[in-house]
Amino acid sequence: MGTVKTLILGSCGMLGQALCKVFPEAVRLTHRDLELTDRQKVIASVKKIKPDVVINAAAYTDVEACEEKRGLAFRVNGHGPGYIAEACAGTGAILVHFSTDYVFDGSKKEYVESDPPNPINVYGQSKLLGESKIAGNMKNYRIIRTSWLFGPGGKNFVETMLQLSEKMDVVKVVNDQFGKPTFTSDLARKTGEIIGLKPGIYHITNEGVCSWYEFASSIIGNAFPCTSEEFPKNAKRPEYSALLNTKTGPMNHWKEALKEYLRERQNVDKAPGSPENGGT
């Protein structure tokens, strides 16, 4: 059997960067290289590159901004994945696409892959449209729903907490929203396995459920619990959304994953050439 040619879309994003490490031979396209909302270009790029597998990590992920820019959210997260699926159906490539726990409203608390979605914000609605566009355009897809991503190279909760902790005596964090934190490196490694499994929807997160406050308390020493009412937001969020994986083996606990991430961060800081060691 020949080697598998993989194309990663959204390669500069937080998850995209982790995927590039796991698939070092993959062809990488960033937002600058390919605009997902341009149907002709999406189809032409896939046709030209001829990948066996397309992994799409590109998305409009700013949950608050999606409320304001509804049209853009639906074009990027809804129609864009549909164009990629059309392209993959045309060339016979497998499509791996990432979706979110925000396709659920949180009332059931724990969700298996077959539970009916009911998003309560624009981001979740746009991501759900993406799922249905993919399923409507091709058969050989893997949709991986995940949640609360953290990892190097992105704006994420762990980095925000570390920064706030240095600036403030006490960091207030909401203690009434629950979910499953997930390390991008673990998810990227697991993606390799999912490609070899049957088409369909997969729920992939690190193990363990916690509130944002509990998560924060594992990162910094000065977190203090508060309610969501103290931090009003435009986008509603599910109060409790735990994705249950019924299709493949579990990943490690988020606390182990967090330790690995914090260890890696420290090693980067200590590496020769890093700012702490005289680099610029």
Question: How far apart are CB 1 and ligand NAP at their closest, in Å?
Answer: 29
Q: Which stretch binds ligand NAP (CB under 6 A): 47-55, 113-121, 140-148, 166-174?
A: 140-148
The phi, psi pair for 146, rounded to 5°, reads -140, 180
Phi-psi group of 66: left, alpha or beta (phi > 0 → left; psi -120 to 50 → alpha; rest → beta): alpha
Residues 76-105 binding ligand NAP (CB under 6 A) are: 76, 98, 100
Note whether 159 binds ligand NAP by CB under 6 A: no
Q: How far is the CB of 169 from ligand NAP (least distance, A)?
A: 27
Query: Is 238 among the residues that bind ligand NAP (CB under 6 A)?
Result: no
- Cβ partners under 8 Å of residue 195, min gap 6: 53, 94, 96, 142
Decide: 194 and 96 in contact? Cβ < 8 Å.
yes
Residue 59 is a binding residue for ligand NAP (CB under 6 A):
yes
For this structure, is 123 an active site residue? yes
Characterize the bridge pairing of strands 178-179 and 210-211.
antiparallel
Shortest separation between residue 3's beta carbon and ligand NAP, angstroms: 25
Q: How far is the CB of 156 from ligand NAP (least distance, A)?
A: 7
Does 206 bind ligand NAP (CB under 6 A)? Our answer is: no
Q: Near ligand NAP by CB under 6 A, which window of 27-35, 110-118, 164-172, 246-254? A: 27-35
The pair of structure tokens assigned to 162 is 């570390």
**With binding defined as CB under 6 A, does residue 58 bind ligand NAP?**
yes
**Residue least distant from ligand NAP (Cβ):** 13
Is residue 35 a contact point for ligand NAP (CB under 6 A)? Answer: yes
Tell me how far, at minimum, the Cβ of 112 lies from ligand NAP, in Å: 17
Is residue 177 close enough to count as binding ligand NAP by CB under 6 A? no
**201 lies in the site for ligand NAP, by CB under 6 A:** no
Closer Cβ to ligand NAP, 16 or 117, answer by number: 16
Number of residues that bind ligand NAP (CB under 6 A): 25
Annotated active-site residue in 60, 123, 141, 261: 123
Which of 5, 37, 65, 262 contacts ligand NAP by CB under 6 A? 37
Site for ligand NAP in 115-134 (CB under 6 A): 127
DSSP characters for the chain?
Answer: --PPPEEEESTTSHHHHHHHHHSTTSEEE-TTT--TT-HHHHHHHHHHH--SEEEE------HHHHHH-HHHHIIIIIIHHHHHHHHHHHHT-EEEEEEEGGGS-SSSEEE-TTSPP---SHHHHHHHHHHHHHHHH-SSEEEEEE-SEE-TTS--HHHHHHHHHHH-S-EEEESS-EE--EEHHHHHHHHHHHHTS-SEEEE---B--EEHHHHHHTT-S-EEEE-GGGS--SS---SBEEE---SS----BHHHHHHHHHHHHHHHHHSTTSGGGT--
Out of 7, 20, 36, 66, name the contact with ligand NAP by CB under 6 A: 36
Which positions lie near ligand NAP, rule CB under 6 A? 10, 12-16, 31, 34-37, 57-61, 76, 98, 100, 127, 146-149, 154
The residues carrying an active-site annotation are: 123
